[in-house]
Protein backbone atom coordinates (compact mmCIF):
# COMPACT_ATOMS: atom_id res chain seq x y z
CA UNK A 1 0.00 0.00 0.00
CA UNK A 2 1.34 3.38 -0.91
CA UNK A 3 2.40 5.75 1.85
CA UNK A 4 4.06 8.43 -0.22
CA UNK A 5 2.75 11.97 -0.46
CA UNK A 6 2.21 15.01 1.72
CA UNK A 7 1.81 13.24 5.04
CA UNK A 8 1.50 16.53 6.92
CA UNK A 9 -1.64 17.40 4.95
CA UNK A 10 -4.58 15.42 6.39
CA UNK A 11 -6.53 15.83 3.15
CA UNK A 12 -3.73 14.44 0.99
CA UNK A 13 -4.45 11.21 -0.86
CA UNK A 14 -2.36 9.37 -3.41
CA UNK A 15 -5.24 8.41 -5.67
CA UNK A 16 -7.23 11.54 -6.51
CA UNK A 17 -9.05 11.16 -9.80
CA UNK A 18 -6.42 13.20 -11.63
CA UNK A 19 -6.06 10.56 -14.35
CA UNK A 20 -9.74 9.68 -14.50
CA UNK A 21 -11.89 10.42 -17.53
CA UNK A 22 -15.65 10.78 -17.83
CA UNK A 23 -17.33 9.26 -20.85
CA UNK A 24 -20.79 8.52 -22.18
CA UNK A 25 -20.68 4.89 -23.30
CA UNK A 26 -23.10 2.50 -24.96
CA UNK A 27 -23.83 -0.94 -23.56
CA UNK A 28 -22.49 -3.71 -25.82
CA UNK A 29 -24.10 -6.51 -23.85
CA UNK A 30 -25.83 -6.97 -20.52
CA UNK A 31 -26.18 -10.64 -19.65
CA UNK A 32 -27.54 -12.51 -16.64
CA UNK A 33 -24.90 -14.59 -14.82
CA UNK A 34 -26.84 -15.78 -11.79
CA UNK A 35 -29.86 -14.90 -9.64
CA UNK A 36 -30.04 -11.08 -9.51
CA UNK A 37 -26.54 -10.85 -11.00
CA UNK A 38 -25.52 -9.47 -14.40
CA UNK A 39 -22.42 -8.61 -16.42
CA UNK A 40 -22.52 -5.39 -18.40
CA UNK A 41 -19.93 -4.68 -21.12
CA UNK A 42 -19.21 -1.31 -22.74
CA UNK A 43 -16.42 0.05 -24.90
CA UNK A 44 -14.30 2.71 -23.22
CA UNK A 45 -10.66 2.43 -24.35
CA UNK A 46 -9.38 5.35 -22.21
CA UNK A 47 -10.51 3.71 -18.96
CA UNK A 48 -9.90 0.13 -20.09
CA UNK A 49 -6.22 0.67 -20.76
CA UNK A 50 -5.57 2.52 -17.47
CA UNK A 51 -7.59 0.59 -14.90
CA UNK A 52 -5.97 -1.96 -12.56
CA UNK A 53 -7.61 -4.70 -10.45
CA UNK A 54 -9.38 -3.33 -7.35
CA UNK A 55 -10.02 0.07 -8.93
CA UNK A 56 -13.59 1.10 -9.65
CA UNK A 57 -15.77 3.33 -11.78
CA UNK A 58 -18.65 5.59 -10.88
CA UNK A 59 -21.66 4.80 -13.09
CA UNK A 60 -24.97 6.54 -13.85
CA UNK A 61 -27.73 5.78 -16.32
CA UNK A 62 -27.45 8.52 -18.97
CA UNK A 63 -30.08 11.30 -18.92
CA UNK A 64 -31.76 9.88 -15.80
CA UNK A 65 -32.17 12.07 -12.70
CA UNK A 66 -33.39 9.36 -10.36
CA UNK A 67 -31.08 8.12 -9.00
CA UNK A 68 -29.11 11.33 -9.39
CA UNK A 69 -25.87 10.10 -7.84
CA UNK A 70 -23.60 7.64 -9.59
CA UNK A 71 -22.79 4.28 -7.96
CA UNK A 72 -19.33 2.75 -7.48
CA UNK A 73 -18.70 -0.56 -9.28
CA UNK A 74 -15.43 -2.50 -9.37
CA UNK A 75 -13.60 -3.67 -12.48
CA UNK A 76 -14.45 -7.29 -13.30
CA UNK A 77 -12.20 -7.46 -16.35
CA UNK A 78 -11.08 -5.55 -19.39
CA UNK A 79 -11.73 -6.91 -22.87
CA UNK A 80 -8.80 -6.80 -25.30
CA UNK A 81 -9.18 -6.17 -29.04
CA UNK A 82 -7.51 -8.32 -31.71
CA UNK A 83 -4.15 -6.61 -31.01
CA UNK A 84 -4.38 -7.38 -27.29
CA UNK A 85 -5.16 -3.76 -26.33
CA UNK A 86 -7.86 -3.38 -23.65
CA UNK A 87 -10.74 -1.46 -25.19
CA UNK A 88 -13.87 -2.54 -23.30
CA UNK A 89 -14.83 -3.06 -19.68
CA UNK A 90 -16.87 -5.73 -17.94
CA UNK A 91 -18.65 -4.95 -14.68
CA UNK A 92 -20.53 -7.61 -12.71
CA UNK A 93 -23.32 -6.31 -10.50
CA UNK A 94 -25.99 -7.48 -8.12
CA UNK A 95 -29.41 -5.86 -8.41
CA UNK A 96 -30.10 -4.17 -5.09
CA UNK A 97 -31.66 -0.74 -5.43
CA UNK A 98 -32.75 1.79 -8.02
CA UNK A 99 -29.65 2.01 -10.19
CA UNK A 100 -28.73 -1.63 -10.48
CA UNK A 101 -32.37 -2.74 -11.01
CA UNK A 102 -32.77 -0.25 -13.85
CA UNK A 103 -29.38 -1.20 -15.27
CA UNK A 104 -30.48 -4.83 -15.46
CA UNK A 105 -33.34 -3.75 -17.75
CA UNK A 106 -31.01 -1.92 -20.17
CA UNK A 107 -30.43 -3.51 -23.55
CA UNK A 108 -27.46 -3.19 -25.89
CA UNK A 109 -27.22 0.39 -27.14
CA UNK A 110 -28.49 2.00 -23.92
CA UNK A 111 -26.16 4.70 -22.66
CA UNK A 112 -24.31 5.11 -19.38
CA UNK A 113 -22.18 7.89 -17.91
CA UNK A 114 -19.02 6.50 -16.33
CA UNK A 115 -15.93 8.04 -14.78
CA UNK A 116 -12.73 6.40 -13.69
CA UNK A 117 -10.42 4.68 -13.04
CA UNK A 118 -10.85 5.54 -9.36
CA UNK A 119 -9.25 4.44 -6.09
CA UNK A 120 -5.97 2.70 -5.39
CA UNK A 121 -6.59 -0.90 -6.48
CA UNK A 122 -4.80 -3.92 -5.03
CA UNK A 123 -1.09 -3.31 -4.50
CA UNK A 124 0.98 -5.66 -6.69
CA UNK A 125 2.86 -7.11 -3.71
CA UNK A 126 4.87 -10.24 -4.55
CA UNK A 127 3.67 -13.44 -2.88
CA UNK A 128 4.07 -17.19 -3.33
CA UNK A 129 0.40 -17.84 -2.68
CA UNK A 130 -2.39 -15.37 -3.41
CA UNK A 131 -5.55 -16.26 -1.49
CA UNK A 132 -8.63 -14.28 -2.57
CA UNK A 133 -11.64 -14.40 -0.24
CA UNK A 134 -15.04 -13.26 -1.51
CA UNK A 135 -18.44 -13.04 0.13
CA UNK A 136 -21.64 -12.33 -1.83
CA UNK A 137 -20.92 -9.97 -4.73
CA UNK A 138 -17.38 -9.41 -3.37
CA UNK A 139 -15.88 -11.72 -5.98
CA UNK A 140 -15.97 -9.04 -8.69
CA UNK A 141 -12.41 -7.64 -8.31
CA UNK A 142 -10.75 -11.05 -8.23
CA UNK A 143 -10.88 -12.33 -11.82
CA UNK A 144 -8.56 -9.58 -13.03
CA UNK A 145 -6.32 -9.75 -9.95
CA UNK A 146 -5.86 -13.52 -10.13
CA UNK A 147 -5.15 -13.42 -13.86
CA UNK A 148 -2.52 -10.75 -13.22
CA UNK A 149 -0.82 -12.87 -10.51
CA UNK A 150 -0.81 -15.88 -12.85
CA UNK A 151 0.87 -13.84 -15.60
CA UNK A 152 -2.12 -14.17 -17.97
CA UNK A 153 -3.07 -10.50 -18.22
CA UNK A 154 -1.52 -7.11 -17.59
CA UNK A 155 -3.42 -4.00 -16.54
CA UNK A 156 -2.65 -0.29 -16.29
CA UNK A 157 -0.79 2.28 -18.36
CA UNK A 158 2.09 1.54 -18.53
CA UNK A 159 1.17 -2.10 -17.84
CA UNK A 160 2.05 -2.78 -14.20
CA UNK A 161 4.42 -5.63 -13.45
CA UNK A 162 3.31 -8.24 -10.94
CA UNK A 163 5.68 -10.98 -9.79
CA UNK A 164 4.01 -14.28 -10.65
CA UNK A 165 2.53 -16.20 -7.73
CA UNK A 166 3.00 -19.98 -7.54
CA UNK A 167 -0.66 -20.50 -6.65
CA UNK A 168 -3.83 -18.43 -6.84
CA UNK A 169 -6.86 -19.58 -4.85
CA UNK A 170 -10.36 -18.18 -4.52
CA UNK A 171 -12.51 -18.94 -1.45
CA UNK A 172 -15.98 -17.80 -2.49
CA UNK A 173 -18.99 -17.90 -0.19
CA UNK A 174 -22.61 -17.24 -1.12
CA UNK A 175 -26.02 -17.61 0.54
CA UNK A 176 -27.14 -20.22 -2.03
CA UNK A 177 -25.82 -21.91 -5.20
CA UNK A 178 -27.93 -19.85 -7.59
CA UNK A 179 -26.09 -16.67 -6.53
CA UNK A 180 -22.67 -17.93 -7.68
CA UNK A 181 -21.49 -15.65 -10.49
CA UNK A 182 -18.34 -16.01 -12.56
CA UNK A 183 -17.17 -19.45 -11.41
CA UNK A 184 -16.55 -20.67 -15.01
CA UNK A 185 -14.31 -17.59 -15.53
CA UNK A 186 -12.37 -18.27 -12.32
CA UNK A 187 -11.91 -21.94 -13.18
CA UNK A 188 -10.88 -21.18 -16.77
CA UNK A 189 -8.23 -18.83 -15.39
CA UNK A 190 -6.80 -21.74 -13.37
CA UNK A 191 -7.66 -20.53 -9.86
CA UNK A 192 -8.01 -23.12 -7.10
CA UNK A 193 -11.74 -22.36 -6.52
CA UNK A 194 -13.27 -23.38 -3.19
CA UNK A 195 -16.95 -22.68 -2.60
CA UNK A 196 -19.16 -22.40 0.45
CA UNK A 197 -22.85 -21.67 0.94
CA UNK A 198 -25.00 -20.77 3.93
CA UNK A 199 -27.69 -23.31 2.94
CA UNK A 200 -25.37 -26.13 1.86
CA UNK A 201 -26.61 -26.05 -1.75
CA UNK A 202 -23.04 -25.83 -3.07
CA UNK A 203 -19.58 -26.52 -1.68
CA UNK A 204 -18.88 -26.42 2.04
CA UNK A 205 -22.04 -25.96 4.14
CA UNK A 206 -20.92 -23.03 6.27
CA UNK A 207 -18.88 -19.87 6.22
CA UNK A 208 -16.24 -18.83 3.72
CA UNK A 209 -13.95 -18.19 6.68
CA UNK A 210 -13.98 -21.98 7.33
CA UNK A 211 -12.47 -22.42 3.85
CA UNK A 212 -9.90 -19.72 4.52
CA UNK A 213 -8.96 -21.29 7.87
CA UNK A 214 -8.28 -24.61 6.12
CA UNK A 215 -6.26 -22.94 3.40
CA UNK A 216 -4.16 -21.02 5.91
CA UNK A 217 -3.42 -24.33 7.66
CA UNK A 218 -2.53 -26.00 4.33
CA UNK A 219 -0.15 -23.19 3.41
CA UNK A 220 1.46 -22.80 6.86
CA UNK A 221 5.07 -21.71 6.44
CA UNK A 222 4.49 -20.38 2.90
CA UNK A 223 4.43 -16.72 2.00
CA UNK A 224 0.71 -15.82 1.74
CA UNK A 225 -1.12 -12.69 0.69
CA UNK A 226 -4.84 -12.72 1.48
CA UNK A 227 -7.11 -10.25 -0.30
CA UNK A 228 -10.74 -9.95 0.68
CA UNK A 229 -13.98 -8.29 -0.38
CA UNK A 230 -17.48 -8.82 0.96
CA UNK A 231 -19.79 -7.90 3.83
CA UNK A 232 -18.01 -6.06 6.64
CA UNK A 233 -18.47 -8.74 9.39
CA UNK A 234 -16.94 -11.30 7.03
CA UNK A 235 -13.99 -9.03 6.24
CA UNK A 236 -13.43 -8.45 9.96
CA UNK A 237 -13.42 -12.23 10.55
CA UNK A 238 -10.95 -12.68 7.67
CA UNK A 239 -8.70 -9.96 9.11
CA UNK A 240 -8.76 -11.74 12.54
CA UNK A 241 -7.89 -15.12 10.97
CA UNK A 242 -5.02 -13.60 9.03
CA UNK A 243 -3.66 -11.97 12.19
CA UNK A 244 -3.79 -15.34 13.99
CA UNK A 245 -1.99 -17.05 11.07
CA UNK A 246 0.50 -14.22 10.51
CA UNK A 247 -0.67 -13.77 6.89
CA UNK A 248 -0.70 -10.39 5.19
CA UNK A 249 -4.23 -9.24 4.40
CA UNK A 250 -5.71 -6.44 2.30
CA UNK A 251 -9.44 -5.69 2.26
CA UNK A 252 -11.48 -3.82 -0.33
CA UNK A 253 -14.19 -1.82 1.47
CA UNK A 254 -17.62 -1.33 -0.11
CA UNK A 255 -18.72 1.83 1.68
CA UNK A 256 -21.49 3.81 -0.04
CA UNK A 257 -20.07 6.68 -2.10
CA UNK A 258 -21.59 9.90 -3.40
CA UNK A 259 -18.84 11.55 -5.46
CA UNK A 260 -16.09 8.88 -5.79
CA UNK A 261 -13.42 11.55 -6.15
CA UNK A 262 -12.57 12.69 -2.62
CA UNK A 263 -14.86 15.70 -2.17
CA UNK A 264 -17.91 14.73 -0.12
CA UNK A 265 -16.52 12.54 2.73
CA UNK A 266 -19.55 10.22 2.50
CA UNK A 267 -17.30 7.16 2.18
CA UNK A 268 -15.07 7.41 5.25
CA UNK A 269 -13.71 4.46 7.23
CA UNK A 270 -11.78 4.42 10.53
CA UNK A 271 -8.11 3.66 9.85
CA UNK A 272 -5.32 3.29 12.44
CA UNK A 273 -2.51 5.83 12.32
CA UNK A 274 1.20 5.12 12.91
CA UNK A 275 0.93 6.68 16.42
CA UNK A 276 -1.85 4.21 17.44
CA UNK A 277 -4.73 6.67 17.13
CA UNK A 278 -7.29 6.40 14.31
CA UNK A 279 -8.52 8.82 11.67
CA UNK A 280 -11.28 8.89 9.05
CA UNK A 281 -9.99 7.96 5.58
CA UNK A 282 -11.89 8.36 2.34
CA UNK A 283 -12.46 4.96 0.79
CA UNK A 284 -12.68 6.46 -2.71
CA UNK A 285 -9.22 8.09 -2.80
CA UNK A 286 -7.30 6.43 0.06
CA UNK A 287 -8.91 3.04 -0.67
CA UNK A 288 -10.98 1.08 -1.41
CA UNK A 289 -8.10 -1.31 -0.63
CA UNK A 290 -6.61 -1.02 2.86
CA UNK A 291 -4.21 -3.05 4.96
CA UNK A 292 -6.71 -5.10 7.03
CA UNK A 293 -4.57 -4.67 10.18
CA UNK A 294 -5.17 -0.92 10.03
CA UNK A 295 -8.98 -0.95 9.86
CA UNK A 296 -10.90 -0.16 13.06
CA UNK A 297 -13.91 -2.44 12.49
C1 LIG B 1 -15.44 0.43 -4.41
C2 LIG B 1 -16.77 -0.26 -4.57
C3 LIG B 1 -16.90 -1.24 -5.53
C4 LIG B 1 -18.13 -1.88 -5.69
N5 LIG B 1 -18.22 -2.84 -6.64
C6 LIG B 1 -19.39 -3.46 -6.84
C7 LIG B 1 -19.49 -4.44 -7.86
O8 LIG B 1 -18.51 -4.75 -8.56
N9 LIG B 1 -20.70 -5.04 -8.04
C10 LIG B 1 -21.79 -4.71 -7.25
O11 LIG B 1 -22.86 -5.29 -7.46
N12 LIG B 1 -21.72 -3.78 -6.29
C13 LIG B 1 -20.54 -3.15 -6.06
N14 LIG B 1 -20.46 -2.19 -5.09
C15 LIG B 1 -21.67 -1.86 -4.31
C16 LIG B 1 -22.60 -0.95 -5.13
O17 LIG B 1 -21.98 0.31 -5.32
C18 LIG B 1 -23.93 -0.74 -4.40
O19 LIG B 1 -24.59 -1.95 -4.27
C20 LIG B 1 -24.81 0.29 -5.10
O21 LIG B 1 -25.20 1.26 -4.17
C22 LIG B 1 -26.06 -0.25 -5.70
O23 LIG B 1 -26.79 0.84 -6.22
P24 LIG B 1 -28.38 0.81 -6.29
O25 LIG B 1 -28.82 2.15 -6.73
O26 LIG B 1 -28.81 -0.35 -7.07
O27 LIG B 1 -28.77 0.55 -4.83
P28 LIG B 1 -28.95 1.66 -3.64
O29 LIG B 1 -30.18 2.43 -3.97
O30 LIG B 1 -27.69 2.38 -3.54
O31 LIG B 1 -29.26 0.69 -2.50
C32 LIG B 1 -28.22 -0.08 -1.88
C33 LIG B 1 -28.83 -0.80 -0.68
O34 LIG B 1 -29.55 0.07 0.12
C35 LIG B 1 -30.89 -0.39 0.24
N36 LIG B 1 -31.76 0.77 0.18
C37 LIG B 1 -31.90 1.63 -0.81
N38 LIG B 1 -32.80 2.55 -0.53
C39 LIG B 1 -33.22 2.27 0.73
C40 LIG B 1 -34.16 2.87 1.59
N41 LIG B 1 -34.86 3.96 1.25
N42 LIG B 1 -34.35 2.32 2.82
C43 LIG B 1 -33.67 1.22 3.19
N44 LIG B 1 -32.77 0.60 2.40
C45 LIG B 1 -32.56 1.12 1.18
C46 LIG B 1 -31.13 -1.29 -0.92
O47 LIG B 1 -32.14 -2.24 -0.63
C48 LIG B 1 -29.80 -1.90 -1.07
O49 LIG B 1 -29.64 -2.95 -0.13
C50 LIG B 1 -19.24 -1.53 -4.89
C51 LIG B 1 -19.11 -0.55 -3.90
C52 LIG B 1 -17.88 0.09 -3.74
C53 LIG B 1 -17.72 1.16 -2.72
S1 LIG C 1 -17.31 9.36 -2.17
FE2 LIG C 1 -17.06 11.49 -1.92
S3 LIG C 1 -15.22 11.61 -0.74
FE4 LIG C 1 -15.41 9.51 -1.17
Q: Which of 15, 119, 257 to mutate to test the pocket of ligand 2 (most atoms within 8 A of CB)?
A: 257
Q: Which of 57, 256, 259 to mutate to test the pocket of ligand 2 (most atoms within 8 A of CB)?
A: 259
267 CB near ligand 2 (under 6 Å): yes
Ligand 2 centroid to residue 222 C-alpha, Å: 37
CA-nearest residue, atom 52 of ligand 1:
254
Handedness of CA 137, 287, 215, 182 (dihedral sign): positive
Is the predicted pLDDT of residue 187 greater than 90, yes or no? Answer: yes
Residue 19: band (very low, low, confident or very high) from pLDDT cuts 50, 70, 90: confident
pTM value?
A: 0.95
Q: Which of 265, 269, 280 to mutate to test the pocket of ligand 2 (most atoms within 8 A of CB)?
A: 265
pLDDT mean over 143-162 = 97
Q: Report long-range pairs for 236-242 (Cβ below 8 Å, ≥24 apart).
A: 236/295, 236/297, 237/207, 237/209, 238/133, 238/209, 238/212, 238/292, 239/292, 239/293, 239/295, 239/297, 241/209, 241/212, 241/213, 241/216, 242/216, 242/292
The predicted structure's pLDDT at residue 2: 46
Is the predicted pLDDT of residue 3 greater than 50, yes or no? Answer: no
258 CB near ligand 2 (under 6 Å): yes
176: left (phi over 0), alpha (psi -120 to 50) or beta: beta
pLDDT mean over 182-200 = 98
Ligand with an atom nearest the CA of residue 143: 1
Is the predicted pLDDT of residue 9 greater than 90, yes or no? Answer: no
The predicted structure's pLDDT at residue 7: 58
What ligand 1 atom has the least distance to the C-alpha of 103?
Answer: 26
Is the predicted pLDDT of residue 1 greater than 60, yes or no? Answer: no
Q: What's the whole-number average pLDDT of the chain? A: 95
Amino acid sequence: MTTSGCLDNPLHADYYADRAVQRRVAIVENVRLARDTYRVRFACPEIARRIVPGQFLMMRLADVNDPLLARPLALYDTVPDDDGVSTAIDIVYLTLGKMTRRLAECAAGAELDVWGPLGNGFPPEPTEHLIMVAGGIGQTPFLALGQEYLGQRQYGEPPRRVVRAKRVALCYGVRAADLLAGVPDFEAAGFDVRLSSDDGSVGHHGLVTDLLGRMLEETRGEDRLVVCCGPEPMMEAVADLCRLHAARCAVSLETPMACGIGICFSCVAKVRQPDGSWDWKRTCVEGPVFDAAKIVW
